[in-house]
Structure 1
């Protein structure tokens, strides 16, 4: 059994999505996989979303809460970070490590349990590929809905290596859904949901980001 099968509860058809339900094993292998560079890589992801003091942030597919814990000191005591993940095991792990301005809830990106305009920033890292392909458009529409006008969206996804050998190794070590390029995975989901894309490009540690904004009514 590959590491991808060990960590990811995916069906044989990767477009049907899945969850990660082994938080301790996930943390162990991810820490090793980043070779000591995990904090630097995810600090870059957090910075790409341009968080500000006082922001209300939603982390969709938060997993063990690693990114949300990096965002918490940036938004400060006047802000708040909410993490959401469909895996109760991951949410429980994150809750036990949550700083005072973080909370975590169980749920899916395609059915966000929050009122309209609840957040200033929505982030999602390495999570879209876990959402069933048929639910991805609704997940982006939900992210749009819960953002205030002018609020920001940051999607970071896995960027597989271009070499055949490296790609084969990645396939063995990760879920097969992570073999897709960001262009294949995201397509036009973000602008189709109503967002205006502001920037996109590569990040360290084989990641790719798209930053977008929910336009004000006058901008549409």
Structure 2
């Protein structure tokens, strides 16, 4: 493990033994300036849908995103009432760091939060963001592939909670299976796994896009069915406590509509690259959601003994 050095808080680098040929595509997807992404996603930079159900006022995409995450924590029995003590957390695919920040705030008793990502651009932002909130000592950042969590420090201290939101949609099947297997080895019996992912109800072999092209927008071309997704978890020692469509399809369409509006408002002359891919994806995925070909799924699982 090597340490990346700079004048600001930074991250450690973990190099795994198996190179992933798809990794560069994912890194490219998040290589633009966070300030450009902020114009589309809002100040939280949350990029995993939003929960608008039973709201009494208009919500920003970021507010709806926090609401969605809190609903997942509630489904896991971690938001209210008595809960198990959480001593160590892994945020697998931490994005720009807001979920890591929320985990630090929601679980005051936890002083060991590891956050991993494969995007140096996002991790640079995370380091600054968490330092600004005086969380640099509690949240340790790693440039690490999701299949290599076995290589994270202190394997004798297992994880009590792992969060994986909007991440496995980028993984090829072999990488997804390797990541779940590695997580199983690093989590204590009874530990909780919280996942949010986009799954294709018709199966990856029969789904057809509303847009007749072959573009792999935002590195989301590795489609998985709910049945396959669940079977991998169960095969590697997880019992699924709750798996449901969440947010509702209409809420994900709502989120896409708001994000597309933000992009078109802030970039009236158009743009290229990942944000343009997101703008086009907003129409493409909204069509698939409206026809119930695809849904966002929330999965709460526990590591069995």
Whether these two folds match at TM > 0.5 is: yes
Which digits, 9 at most, give the CA deviation of each residue in 1:22-70, with x for residues without a partner? 3513343223986432222233234444445543110111111121211
Distance 2:196 2:165 in 1: 5
Does structure 2 retain, via aligned residues, the 8 Å contact 1:116–1:145? no
Greater shift, 194-203 or 34-43, is seen at 34-43
- Residue 120 of structure 2 is matched in structure 1 by 88
C-alpha RMSD over aligned residues: 3.4
The alpha-carbon deviation at position 200 of structure 1 amounts to 0.6
In structure 1, the partner of 2:189 is 149
Q: Is the 8 A contact 2:169 2:222 kept in 1?
A: no
Distance 1:214 1:157, change over 3 A: same
| Paired positions, count | 200
1:105 pairs with one of 131, 138, 142? 142
Q: Any unmatched runs of 5+ in structure 2?
A: 1-20, 50-59, 253-294
Distance in 2, matches of 1:74 and 1:179, equals 32
Structure 1: distance between partners of 2:215 and 2:201: 13
> Could you say which residue in structure 2 is the equivalent of 1:122?
162
Distance 1:135 1:172, change over 3 A: closer
Higher strand share: 1
Query: Are residues 197 and 160 of structure 1, via their aligned partners in 2, closer, same or farther at CA, if it must alter by over 3 Å?
Result: closer
Which residue of the partner structure matches residue 7 of structure 1? none
Q: CA 1:158/1:143 → structure 2, altered by over 3 Å: closer, same or farther? A: same
Q: Which residue of structure 2 lines up, in the alignment, with residue 212 of structure 1?
A: 301
- Partners of 1:48 and 1:21 in 2: CA distance: 33
TM-score under structure 2 length normalisation: 0.55
Check the 8 A contact 1:21/1:89 in 2, yes or no: yes
Q: Which has the larger radius of gyration?
A: 2
How far apart are 1:127 and its partner, in Å?
Answer: 0.2
Question: Could you tell me the TM-score, scaled by structure 1's length?
Answer: 0.74
**Pick aligned residue for 1:38 from 65, 76, 89:** 65
Indicate which of 242, 245, 248 corresponds to 1:199. 242
Shift >6 Å, 4+ stretches: none
Distance 1:81-1:128 versus aligned 2 partners, 3 A rule: same
Structure 1: segments with no counterpart, 5+ residues:
1-14
- 8 Å CA contact 2:170, 2:219 repeated in 1: no
1:175 is paired with a residue whose SS is helix
